[in-house]
Amino acid sequence: MSKDRSVAARGVRSFFAYQAPTGNHVAVCRGLSCELNGAPELAARLAAQGTTSPVFCLGMCDRSPAILTAGEQVLTGADALQWTCAGGPRLPAAPLDVRHISSRAIITERIGRGSHAVLDRARAAGVYDALAAVVAGRPGDVLAQIEASGEQGRGGAGYPTGAKWRACASAPGARRFVVANGDEGDPGSFIDRVLLEDDPHAVLEGLLLCAFAVGANEAIVYVRAEYPRARERMRQAITEARAAGLLGAAVLGGSFACDVRLVTGHGSYVCGEETALLNAIEGKRGEARVRPPYPAVAGLHGCPTVVNNIETLVNVPWIVREGAAAFRKLGTRASPGTKAFCFNRGFARSGIVEAEFGVTLAELVHGQAGGSRDGRPLQAIVLGGPMGSVLRPDVLDVAVDFPALAARGIRLGHGGLVAIQSGTDLNAVLRSWAWFMVAESCGRCAPCALGSHRLAELVGRLRGGREDSERAGAELAPLLDMIEAGSLCGFGQGIPGPIRELLELRRQAAAAGPDGHD
């Protein structure tokens, strides 16, 4: 290997943070849900016994805290709390609570009803029926169906799926790619993990329908390293599908050719951003690219590429099978269909709820999740992770509809909800988010890379003497403005908003006096 290539390889390796635990090494989830449910104390205890490292996030927010042990075994709740480096007792895992309150179940059609990871069971439940019905037809018909459905990306941005597919299909170039973005990293969200683990063939069917519609013969499923079970289930699903003729040179015996490969992430939140993800697939540092050009025109290896998140893709077979009009009957005119919402352990009833767009946040938080766990008052909720929104309980009367949320300045994100219960140390939450930003900034642009370190320093001073705390508070506002305005991608642009909201929540709690102080 040449010196230049060796330096480049070291640069890539140094960028990614994930290392699978071995020996006495334990990775402790430090996502917000785990931070609020015992992770700091658990990490301190385990560090005294062996070596630990933080991980963001294991996607077990409904049963926090969570750890990843040697052999990539994920333990949660009581199992995690009782674990020692010499082992620990195993308790039966609580079943995942999955339900829908929509008139039709789409995302939750199979999950929560046992695993459909094995091909025979998946096909018996209707997976691949939509693909079989259209694969001998015209790709343009599938594309038109997705456009007519009005589906919007479920990863947070809400960009119309059909518009993205059309841009890729229309872009010049003989080689095209489609990518399933399984780098779900928003602490509080775990729907993609569950779909990858329990309904992987539905993900593959959505990916194949996308490839067929846009004229791609190469597809990739990118799964984050922190989801070991999801990786293995998807690997098995790809192998089964290929053996059954659902992938390869003649999909279902026809003229459409498409194969799928699995790519594993190596620990980088920013790789959830589609251009950073493409760089990671190409073997580069997972840094965001300048846009335009957009991936639909010049994406993987410079070729037209569609990148869709997992939940987005699982909608696709249902739309193709049931029709665009049936999809538009669900939800609202501006936001058709349904959305999966994830509730963390801080709620009385944690788990996944699929609801139609138009449901209010109040109905979700109070009616479906039952409010705060253990009868404690709910001080706030975090909606959509560290780039989402921090909302007080008295502002939850808004409908979950992209224009309605935007009008109130609320960011839906991935749809995860984390309960902040009364009495929570808001300074600790601020420190956790600042630490998260330092750890996960890709380093490509100075406002985010350097600004995150300054942010962590200032947040750490908020608990100092009154004068020092006031000075730090005064510096935070212009710093957050600079990070937001100068950052290249959604990571640096998005995090300042919820931090401002958390600072305001902290100010209000302090103003309320001893009973309302954080």
Distance of alpha carbon 241 from the chain centroid: 25
Instruction: Identify the H or E element spanning 380.
Output: strand 378-383
Q: Which two tokens stand for residue 351?
A: 């788990």
Strand 416-421 versus strand 338-343 pairing type: parallel
Q: What is the pLDDT of residue 90?
A: 62
Q: What is the pLDDT of residue 347?
A: 96
Boundary residue ending a domain (302, 328, 354): 328
C-alpha 178/C-alpha 293 separation (Å) is 17
Least confident of 102-106, 161-165, 425-429: 425-429
- Is residue 91 one of the residues assigned to a domain? no
Q: Which two tokens stand for residue 163?
A: 């518009």
C-alpha 129/C-alpha 150 separation (Å) is 22
- Say which CATH number the domain at 198 has: 3.40.50.11540
- Is residue 106 one of the residues assigned to a domain? yes
C-alpha 16/C-alpha 340 separation (Å) is 29
Residue with tokens 């700091």: 40
CA distances from 496 to 31, 160, 178, 476, 485 (A): 18, 26, 32, 10, 10
Q: What is the pLDDT of residue 6?
A: 55
Does the pLDDT value for residue 381 go beyond 80?
yes
C-alpha 492/C-alpha 490 separation (Å) is 6
Which DSSP string corresponds to 169-227? HHSS-S--EEEEEE----TT--HHHHHHHH-HHHHHHHHHHHHHHHT-SEEEEEE-TT-
Q: Which two tokens stand for residue 154?
A: 């479920």
- Is residue 89 one of the residues assigned to a domain? no
Give the rounded percent of residues in the chain with a pLDDT score beyond 90: 64
Residues 498 and 457 in one domain: yes
- For 53, phi then psi, to 5°, come to -145, 150
Residues 47 and 182 in one domain: no
Residues 403 and 296 in one domain: no
Query: ∠ CA(137), CA(143), CA(148), 5° rounding?
Result: 120
Strand 25-29 versus strand 66-69 pairing type: antiparallel
Residues 382 and 305 in one domain: no
- Amino acid at residue number 412: L
Residues 59 and 133 in one domain: no
**Residue 11 pLDDT grade (very low, low, confident, very high; cuts 50, 70, 90):** very low
Least confident of 176-180, 202-206, 442-446, 457-461: 442-446
The rounded radius of gyration (Å) of the Cα atoms in the chain is 22
- Is residue 87 one of the residues assigned to a domain? no
Give the count of domains, the chain.
4
- Is residue 286 one of the residues assigned to a domain? yes
Of the candidates 301, 313, 78, 310, the residue with the CA atom closest to the CA atom of residue 213? 313
Q: What residues contact 460, with CB distance under 8 A and at least 6 apart?
A: 431, 434
More confident residue, 171 or 6: 171
* Per-residue pLDDT tens over the stretch 230-281: 999 999 999 999 999 999 999 999 999 999 999 998 766 776 788 889 998 9
Does the pLDDT value for residue 476 go beyond 80?
yes
Residues 51 and 76 in one domain: yes
Q: Which residues of 331-352 are buried (b: 16+ CB within 10 A; e: fewer)?
A: bbeebbbbbbbbbbbbbbebbb
Residues 47 and 117 in one domain: no
Q: In what order do the strands lie in the sheet with 378-383?
A: 98-100, 351-356, 338-343, 416-421, 378-383, 389-391
- Is residue 294 one of the residues assigned to a domain? yes
Residues 126 and 167 in one domain: yes
Boundary residue ending a domain (272, 294, 328): 328
Least confident of 6-10, 175-179, 447-451: 6-10
Least confident of 8-17, 109-118, 153-162, 258-267: 8-17
C-alpha 516/C-alpha 509 separation (Å) is 5
- Say which CATH number the domain at 43 has: 3.40.30.10
- Say which CATH number the domain at 416 has: 3.10.20.600
Does the pLDDT value for residue 189 go beyond 80?
yes
- For 373, phi then psi, to 5°, come to -70, 150
Residues 232 and 286 in one domain: yes
Cα-Cα-Cα-Cα dihedral sign, residues 297, 298, 304, 306: negative
C-alpha 193/C-alpha 198 separation (Å) is 9
Helix 200-214 with 310-322: angle, nearest 10 deg: 70
Query: Across 2-44, where does the E strand assignment appear?
Result: 25-29
Instruction: Identify the H or E element spanning 493.
Output: helix 490-494
Residues 409 and 324 in one domain: no
**Full residue range of the structural domain in which residue 493 is found:** 426-511
Residues 257 and 356 in one domain: no
C-alpha 271/C-alpha 264 separation (Å) is 11
* Per-residue pLDDT tens over the stretch 57-89: 899 999 999 999 888 889 998 888 888 766 665
**What is the DSSP-derived secondary structure letter of residue 4?**
H
User: What residue spans of 441-488 are helical by DSSP H?
Assistant: 446-460, 466-486
Q: What is the pLDDT of residue 203?
A: 98
- Is residue 386 one of the residues assigned to a domain? yes
Which DSSP string corresponds to 63-116? G--EEEETTTEEEEHHHHHH-BTTB----PPPPP-EEE-SSS-STTTTTTSS--
Residues 272 and 124 in one domain: yes
Q: Which two tokens stand for residue 77?
A: 């709740």
Mean pLDDT of the chain, nearest integer? 89
- Is residue 334 one of the residues assigned to a domain? no
